[in-house]
Amino acid sequence: MPSILSVPRFRDAAPGARILCALGLLLAQLCLAPQPVAAQSVALPLPRLLTLTPAGFQRSVAGSEPTTIEVKVSGENLDGWEEGGQYVPPQLLFSHPGITATALLSAEGKPEKDRYLVRVASEVPSGLHDARMMTALGISSGRVCTASDHPETLRTDPAADVSQAFPLAPGIVCNAKATAQVADHYRLELQTGQRVVIDCAARGIESKLRPVLILADATGADLVAERRGGLLDFTAPAPSTYFVKIHDLSFQGGPEFFYRLLVHDLPVGAPLPARQAAVEPVLSFSWPPVGFPATAPAQESEDPDPAAVQQVTLAADAAVALDVAGRFFPAADVDTYQFTAEAGQIWWIEVASERLGAPTNPAVVVQRSLPGAGLVWEDTAEFSDIAAPIKPSTNHYAYDGPPYESGSADCLGKLEIKETGSYRLQIRDLFGGTRDDPQAIYRLVIRKAAPDFALVCWPLHMELRNGDRAALSKPLALRGGGTVSLEVAAIRRDGFDGPIELAVSGLPEGVTATGLRIPAGATRGQILLTAAESPPRAFAGVAISGKGLINGQSIERPCRLAGHCWPVRDGWSEIPFPRLIPETLVSAGGLEKAPLTLRSTAPEPIEVAEGGSFTVPLELLKRGEVSGAQFQMRVIGAGFEQQPGFELNVAAPAPVTFDLAKLKIPPGDHVLAFITSAVTKYAPAAVTKLAPDAVGEAQPPAAADVAEILVSQPVHVRVTPATKEATP
């Protein structure tokens, strides 16, 4: 719960304290200031939708006309294009067909730049929906927007002090953006004993804001502050005007620091309301297990006695012996579940808490009661973190791993009962020793083995060693002749260790996909998306999946796509935060072609006998100036990663030979590809002169060095069984 604070004002501090405070603020500003841009940029330009103002809207009532709202967008490379001699403005698209947008027209009948009329039909469900732009370069990255059942308002005027405070009322959502260096002020009229819960949605709707909520009295003096989660619970001691102050934790502000403020009017003692909808963190892709209900069928007994024990029965013939929801509440809470088990039983224990959005680190210990020793318990098993399938970056850039966390602080492990007897399972939050948080929820499952897997993927992140700190949002907007690699991570559940075949369906015309198998026991694979030389302009929603053989049956599981909420170009000054993307869109046929295309010129598939060797002749198509005479190449593809790296001559690539006897590649169909990072001279293609904001004969921008991942088109190899010599 928020604590009562007495916060001195800056002008009331002693002179020395004011100097130290000013120096601290100056240092913070210097640390947060944008860093100089290096001469060499990372990654080719891509369209990115960065802000949508307002960040949400009220959906219409069933049976009524659609709600209409004016929306302003901003981003990178959100240009329109020319088609049939006509200008086509960039199109604002939404993940639900009931949300549509048309360009806002000026008095002259021309589309206004970055402004749209959005219509929200009554069939649109409340919650988050993705918005994107179709642009000259293809489909943009997404930005979530919220459809709500509440009336909405937009604050545009300054609210830097109590005299400018914006009026708030319970049940109305206020959309706003944080102001740098000051707090936004809101006015709230409350009666004696009236309880309000103030919910500030920020990080959950992809804002950069880390909100600090303060409730002040009629004079502006602070009463209550909340700095952790954007939720403040307050009961008025007297009828009065109160003020709500909001600022970023480091007092940053601007369009990227948007938020949605909602005040709930609740009876004293009522449970906290559901939070405003929030995006899913990447690590949540592995929850829930297939077939499990969205909510647990049982609830923990919240006995105030810390020594309370909950008796459970682990039925030997039950597939799921226990599925219970609980809370790490109050502080230092330890929940105990006691049961009897027989020697030889094997159970799998899984806990979800961080994957449910709680800021927790659950830990489980299982103990056995020692016979004849009274109440003496002996540890038999401990369960903690779910290891990341691919080691993530430890410094938020690709120096030692991708900037995505696919592991979790949650628990998953096998419990083998060695001796018949009485056992107890204790679950606690390692972060919860002093924190009272009723939203620190968990779900505990004890089940028989159900081998399975869960998949997540993201655009391959560049691994430069020259000080690059970029973690970029990368929409799947393919340039003609280009190949993009998706890195796939697998969480294996309950002992499943078979190979996983990867596939993509529903691709737009001119785009093909090739899955590089996840080998048995491995947790990493890749998918290659390749665009034809001149594909038609199009985009499509695609389905990415993986297939595995479990207990003799082919099982297919979806693969979720992850992406960064913001393009972070310097990980030293800004920590990236990614999320799961609900809809995977792929586009091709944009304004530009890939600067490089690396491909095999051999007929495919290349056929070779088991234990033999084969050669891949290579061709490098260059559509611009290349920096350097050689590329340091490596090979990807199940079994082929053992192939030594090699130098590729940019002017005349030499063929590459593979020895299957050394690589121990078994018979069957296989796929490999070549990968490196390359620096090319890049100059953006000219935007159509028909655009409303086109400026005469503008000077084209100069070409600049851009480092980008170069992935070859896939090479298909068919290995046939070796012919056995006849015995004389």
Residue 344 has which token pair?
Answer: 């030889």
Looking at residue 728, its pLDDT comes to: 57
Distances in Å between the alpha carbon of 622 and those of 332, 630, 704, 710? 62, 13, 16, 12
Residue 57 φ/ψ, nearest 5 degrees: -160, 160
Residue with the bigger pLDDT between 610 and 30: it is 610
Distances in Å between the alpha carbon of 97 and those of 119, 124, 125, 130, 132? 10, 8, 11, 11, 13
Indicate the pTM of the whole model: 0.90
Residue 456 has which token pair?
Answer: 């997540």
The H or E element containing residue 118 is: strand 111-120
Q: What integer best gives the mean pLDDT of the chain?
A: 89
Looking at residue 565, its pLDDT comes to: 95
pLDDT 10s digits, 99-141: 999 999 988 888 899 999 999 999 999 999 999 999 999 999 9
Statement: residue 17 has pLDDT above 70: no
Give Cβ neighbours of residue 663 (< 8 Å, ≥ 6 apart): 639, 640, 642, 643
pLDDT level of residue 16 (50, 70, 90 thresholds): very low
Tell me the HSE value of 715 on the side-chain side, using a 13 A CA sphere.
Answer: 30
Give Cβ neighbours of residue 277 (< 8 Å, ≥ 6 apart): 126, 127, 128, 146, 201, 204, 205
Residue pair 550/451 in contact by the 8 Å Cβ criterion = yes
Percent residues over pLDDT 70 in the chain: 90
Looking at residue 666, its pLDDT comes to: 95
Q: What is the DSSP string of 355-399?
A: GGT----EEEEEEEEPTTSSS-EEEEEEE--B--SSPPPSSSSTT
Residue 57 has which token pair?
Answer: 């809207």
pLDDT level of residue 549 (50, 70, 90 thresholds): very high
pLDDT 10s digits, 588-639: 998 899 999 999 999 999 999 999 999 999 999 999 899 999 999 999 999 9
202-211, 345-354, 369-378, 607-616: the lowest-pLDDT one: 369-378
Give Cβ neighbours of residue 14 (< 8 Å, ≥ 6 apart): none
Looking at residue 464, its pLDDT comes to: 57
pLDDT 10s digits, 33-53: 333 334 568 889 999 999 999
- Domains along the chain with CATH numbers: 3-28+151-266 (2.60.120.380), 48-148 (2.60.40.10), 290-449 (2.60.120.380), 450-592 (2.60.40), 595-728 (2.60.40.10)
Residue with the bigger pLDDT between 160 and 724: it is 160
Looking at residue 399, its pLDDT comes to: 52
Looking at residue 108, its pLDDT comes to: 87
pLDDT 10s digits, 314-351: 998 999 999 999 999 999 999 999 999 999 999 999 99
